[in-house]
Amino acid sequence: MRTSLVTFWLAFAFAVSVYGAEDLKLNVFPKRLDGSGVNNLYQLSDRLYSGSKPNGEDGFRFLAKLGVKTIISVDGAAPDVAQASKYGIGYVHVPMSSDAIKEAQALQIVKAAAEQPGPLYVHCHYGMNRGPSASAIICMAQHGWTPEQAVAWMKKAGTSSACVGLFRDVRGFKAASSVTPTRTTGAKLTFDTYSGYFVSNKFEPDAAESFVLVSDQEQFDKVFGVAFVMGDKAHRLPKDAFKSLMVVAAIKRGNAVVEYKIEGVTIKDGVAELRYTTTSKKSDTATFACPLIVSISKGKCTAVEFVEGGKAVKKVEVSDRKDTRKANRSASS
């Protein structure tokens, strides 16, 4: 009976990630947090925070406890690099005015957010005008925020209506434009995505993230189970899929429902690149294992690189595809 209940809740959790969480009372980012040595602190995603300039050692100590690895400052004052380094935190300084976000500045901010280790903390002086506008364009580039969502966030953070230029430039920001960091692309690969599966609670239950290549049904069944819900419209793998296809999967676990958006799959020099963005809806009462399941043709590549929000997060060799223990997130160079 207990096993059945566990299976049911796993299936339910995944069904929510596929079909939406509108009927669940989830706390959606941005979320206000209390902080020591920082003011106007918000969490915007699993790896992005926004707030004021860190106030002395207390501020940097608190950010280190949050897990912050990189600070992006858009304040005019020189950052306290030495104090940040004491706590193992890097700094990127892109000074901005409250009048506008120049294209070159947007490029630097988005590029830093994509390339520097996270979690990230973005700040200006008070964390109300320039900082929220900079973090807004990061969310537009990495998490698919709309201009309306970005502006709503700025207002929530307290951005002054007098900062007309900041609102204008955030509304006009185009994530797919020249301000988005470019990656070398290859030939397009045909792919398909699938839903209607939950992640087995026996597969790496303690890992925050997993990245898996699956080449046969037996291995697939060790990682995923079929989730049936009312009005089932799931798109599942066809019978005998593994005769010609390989499954590429990313799994996120934690107290947030994660939805994925595929940007494309390409291949160059034998390395397939799966590009996607994510959005999260946080819960204080439940945990989830949310998978992205994609298929590509067998024999087309020697490795798969996972690129989330423009940042390479994991590279898995095809020769490693049966070693499902390799799930710890690591940045690819």
- Nearest CA among 195, 314, 316, 318 for reference residue 246: 318
Torsion sign over Cα 195, 198, 203, 206: positive
CATH number for the domain formed by residue range(s) 33-171: 3.90.190.10
Please determine, for residue 323, whether its predicted confidence score (pLDDT) is greater than 80: no
Average pLDDT for 89-96: 93
Are 278 and 259 contacting, i.e. CB atoms less than 8 angstroms apart? Answer: yes
Greater confidence (330 vs 36) lies with: 36
Query: How do 70-73 and 90-93 pair as beta strands?
Result: parallel
- Nearest CA among 327, 329, 305 for reference residue 317: 305
Predicted confidence at residue 20, as pLDDT, reads: 36
As a whole-number percent, the residues of the chain with pLDDT over 90 amount to 57
Please determine, for residue 220, whether its predicted confidence score (pLDDT) is greater than 50: yes
Burial string for 54-68 (b: 16+ CB within 10 Å, else e) reads beeeebbebbeeeeb
- Nearest CA among 38, 41, 69 for reference residue 54: 38
The helix (H) or strand (E) run that includes residue 6 is helix 2-19
- Nearest CA among 71, 121, 133, 147 for reference residue 96: 133
User: Domain-by-domain residue ranges, the chain?
Assistant: 33-171, 187-320
Please determine, for residue 163, whether its predicted confidence score (pLDDT) is greater than 90: yes
Tens digit of each residue's pLDDT (9 = 90 or more) over 96-136: 999 999 988 998 999 888 888 889 999 999 999 999 999 99
Question: In the structure, what pLDDT confidence band is assigned to residue 176 with cuts at 50, 70 and 90?
Answer: low
> What is the pTM assigned to this prediction?
0.52
As a whole-number percent, the residues of the chain with pLDDT over 70 amount to 83
Are 247 and 293 contacting, i.e. CB atoms less than 8 angstroms apart? Answer: yes
Please determine, for residue 27, whether its predicted confidence score (pLDDT) is greater than 50: no
Are 247 and 295 contacting, i.e. CB atoms less than 8 angstroms apart? Answer: yes
Predicted confidence at residue 117, as pLDDT, reads: 84
Q: Is the peptide bond before 119 cis (omega within 30 degrees of 0)?
A: yes
Greater confidence (11 vs 256) lies with: 256
Predicted confidence at residue 22, as pLDDT, reads: 32
Are 250 and 289 contacting, i.e. CB atoms less than 8 angstroms apart? Answer: no
Q: How far apart are CA 105 and CA 234, in angstroms?
A: 42
- Nearest CA among 124, 159, 138, 119 for reference residue 54: 124
Predicted confidence at residue 167, as pLDDT, reads: 95
3-state helix, strand, coil in the chain (%, to 5): 30, 30, 40
Q: How far apart are CA 142 and CA 275, in angstroms?
A: 11
Greater confidence (219 vs 280) lies with: 219
Residue 316, both tokens: 């898995």
Q: How far apart are CA 112 and CA 131, in angstroms?
A: 14
Return the residue matching tokens 């590009």: 275
Average pLDDT for 182-190: 72
Question: In the structure, what pLDDT confidence band is assigned to residue 63 with cuts at 50, 70 and 90?
Answer: very high
Q: How far apart are CA 149 and CA 139, in angstroms?
A: 9
Q: For 175-239, give the secondary structure using H, E and C.
A: CCCCCCCCCCCCEECCCEEECCEEECCCCCCCCCEEEEEECCHHHHHHHEEECCCCCCCCCCCCC
What are the beta bridge partners of residue 311?
308
Please determine, for residue 19, whether its predicted confidence score (pLDDT) is greater than 60: no
Point out the least confidently predicted range of 143-147, 236-240, 260-264, 326-330. 326-330
Burial string for 86-106 (b: 16+ CB within 10 Å, else e) reads ebebbbbbbebebeebeeebb
Greater confidence (230 vs 59) lies with: 59
